[in-house]
């Protein structure tokens, strides 16, 4: 294009396109409508013109942390063997836990810096009495695209209509077995039917997919992989098989861990036509589907094939500590800084420094299993 035709094209387009659907090409100065751009060029355009991501939430390896998990409580109505130490955990006094106001203040700050997805977790987030109100308050924060919850499902059927109305976008429900008696053994409590009821309620209310988190442990539930795959035949589920991870007090050992490859082999023996699905770059899950099944299965391979290189997650524990890595033990108390009246700028500096110290990758499952960390229940998965 000659300069004059570029100018003419620009003028014509700028007159006929509203500001909202017109894209100005930076170098040529030509306006295009979004529809005119091919999807690849559209993606390129968006990348080129996206607002720069916060330097505070970008680490030295270029990872942009747009996903925050907030633990709402250290308490739980179940006692899963892989999460809660047999002897229980020392609970933080209530006065040292984040208040709802503090949770929302921190959420707002992180969203202002570029976080657009928040997951509420715990302990069991749905035992926090004001969980619906927390979702409603998060929903009002401008810039949040996704509010999600990870729950054991016990209180889900009862609370979901109100959670949905408050703005809950996505749900992960933990379920490690389809055998009621085994359920009681794994989680050391009753409740299998309530969890199933929660799953069906989520489907009924239109969540799609409903994600089901299944921690696979040798000798416990690895014989149920195919039953879980069958569950995806007529239901819009994404069953996520999670490799068993070591945390304080959960008696992890390598022999109990069933690797992704091993699970995949077992499933492929029954379903050789299992197809791999494309994944987003920042996804932690490797997704597969049996052709013609309504749902799909995925694998969370944190141990055998970690995904630290694309990690975009930060965590805030119920007692207000920022954890930049699930498997790292370095923490900084945002609660303390909030309570001494640190300004927003100071808090952002503190968060930025912690993100800046984030390691390239976790230390490997054997080192992690020897390392001091919190029990999972006190982190928030």
Ligand X SMILES: C[S@@+](CC[C@H](N)C(=O)[O-])C[C@H]1O[C@@H](n2cnc3c(N)ncnc32)[C@H](O)[C@@H]1O
Task: Name which of ligand X, ligand SF4, none residue 79 binds, using a CB cut-off of 5 to 8 Å depending on partner kind.
Answer: ligand SF4
Instruction: Quote the Cα angle for 368-369-371, to 5°.
Output: 60
Task: Specify the residue, 250 or 321, whose C-beta has the smaller distance to ligand X.
Answer: 250
Contact of 87 with 249, CB cutoff 8 Å: yes
177 binds ligand X (CB under 6 A): no
Per CB under 6 A, contacts with ligand X among 73-92 are: 76, 82-83
Torsion of CA 194, 200, 201, 205, to 10 degrees: 170
Count of positions (residues) in the chain: 381
Shortest CB 208 distance to ligand X, Å: 19
Q: At what angle do helices 156-166 and 192-204 cross, to 10 degrees?
A: 30
Task: Specify the residue, 32 or 241, whose C-beta has the smaller distance to ligand SF4.
Answer: 241
Q: Which of 73, 150, 232, 296 binds ligand X (CB under 6 A)?
A: 150
Q: Which of 213, 221, 232, 321 binds ligand X (CB under 6 A)?
A: 213
Contact of 28 with 6, CB cutoff 8 Å: yes
Residues 6+ apart with CB under 8 A from 204: none
Residues engaged in binding ligand SF4 (CB under 6 A): 76, 78-80, 83-84, 122-124, 152, 174, 187, 377
From 1-9, 118-126, 159-167, 310-318, span contacting ligand X (CB under 6 A): 118-126
Task: Specify the residue, 152 or 317, whose C-beta has the smaller distance to ligand SF4.
Answer: 152
Task: Name which of ligand X, ligand SF4, none residue 247 binds, using a CB cut-off of 5 to 8 Å depending on partner kind.
Answer: ligand X
3-state secondary structure of 207: coil
Distance CA 207, CA 204 (A): 8
Q: At what angle do helices 180-187 and 192-204 cross, to 10 degrees?
A: 100
Task: Name which of ligand SF4, ligand X, none residue 244 binds, using a CB cut-off of 5 to 8 Å depending on partner kind.
Answer: ligand X
Give strand pairing partners of 300.
242, 285
Place of tokens 């920042």: 282
Shortest CB 315 distance to ligand X, Å: 11
Distance CA 154, CA 92 (A): 23
Task: Name which of ligand X, ligand SF4, none residue 250 binds, using a CB cut-off of 5 to 8 Å depending on partner kind.
Answer: ligand X
Residues that bind ligand X (CB under 6 A): 76, 82-83, 121-122, 124, 150-152, 174, 213, 215, 242, 244-245, 247, 250, 376-377, 381
């Amino acid at each position: 294009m000659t300069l004059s035709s570029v100018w003419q094209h620009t003028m014509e387009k700028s007159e006929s396109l509203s500001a909202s659907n017109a894209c100005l090409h930076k170098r040529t100065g030509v306006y295009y409508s979004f529809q005119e751009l091919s999807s690849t060029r559209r993606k390129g355009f968006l990348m080129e013109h996206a607002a720069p991501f916060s330097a505070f939430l970008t680490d030295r390896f270029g990872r942009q942390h747009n996903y925050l998990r907030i633990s709402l409580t250290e308490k739980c109505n179940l006692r899963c063997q892989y999460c809660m130490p047999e002897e229980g955990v020392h609970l933080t006094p209530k006065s040292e836990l984040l208040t709802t106001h503090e949770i929302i203040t921190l959420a707002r700050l992180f969203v202002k810096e570029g976080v657009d997805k928040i997951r509420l977790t715990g302990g069991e987030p749905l035992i926090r009495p004001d969980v619906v109100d927390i979702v409603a308050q998060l929903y009002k924060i401008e810039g949040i695209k996704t509010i999600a919850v990870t729950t054991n499902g016990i209180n889900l059927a009862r609370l979901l209509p109100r959670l949905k109305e408050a703005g809950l976008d996505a749900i992960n429900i933990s379920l490690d077995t389809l055998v009621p008696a085994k359920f009681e053994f794994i989680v050391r409590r009753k409740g299998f039917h309530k969890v199933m009821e929660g799953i069906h309620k989520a489907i009924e209310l239109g969540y799609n997919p409903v994600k089901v988190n299944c921690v696979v442990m040798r000798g416990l539930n690895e014989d149920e992989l195919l039953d879980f795959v069958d569950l995806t035949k007529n239901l819009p589920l994404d069953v996520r098989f999670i490799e068993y991870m070591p945390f304080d007090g959960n008696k992890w050992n390598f022999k109990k861990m069933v690797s992704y490859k091993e699970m995949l082999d077992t499933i492929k023996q029954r379903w050789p036509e299992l197809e791999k699905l494309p994944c987003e770059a920042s996804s932690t899950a490797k997704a597969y589907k049996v052709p013609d099944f309504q749902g799909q299965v995925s694998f969370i391979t944190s141990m055998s094939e970690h995904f630290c290189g694309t990690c975009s997650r930060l965590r805030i524990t119920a007692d207000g500590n920022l954890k930049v890595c699930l498997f790292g033990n370095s923490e900084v108390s945002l609660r303390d800084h909030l309570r001494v009246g640190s300004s927003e700028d100071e808090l952002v500096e503190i968060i930025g420094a912690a993100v800046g110290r984030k390691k390239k990758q976790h230390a490997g499952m054997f080192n992690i299993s020897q390392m001091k960390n919190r029990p999972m229940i006190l982190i928030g998965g």
